[in-house]
Amino acid sequence: MMKSQEFTDAVRREEAFGVLVTLSQDTNVKLRDVARAFLDEFLATLPAEPQGGPTASA
């Protein structure tokens, strides 16, 4: 049986995918392009990592 957290995560994934599909259909843009644009915008909101990446030491 699926745990409640797993169920919640699965529903969220399905809902998120549904939103991308709807946007793709409404705008006549391929799903992969809609997903890429969303990901690009999301990644642009993240803070930059320090020079040398996350394991760089001072």
Chain segment 1-58, per-residue pLDDT in tens: 657 777 778 779 999 999 999 999 999 999 999 999 999 999 999 898 777 666 655 5
Give the Cα separation of 20 and 27 in Å (integer): 11
Angle between helix axes 31-44 and 4-27 (nearest 10 degrees) is: 110
Q: Are 20 and 32 in contact (CB under 8 A)?
A: no
Amino acid at 39: L
Task: Give the pTM.
Answer: 0.66
DSSP string computed for 11-35: HHHHHHHHHHHHHHHHHT--HHHHH
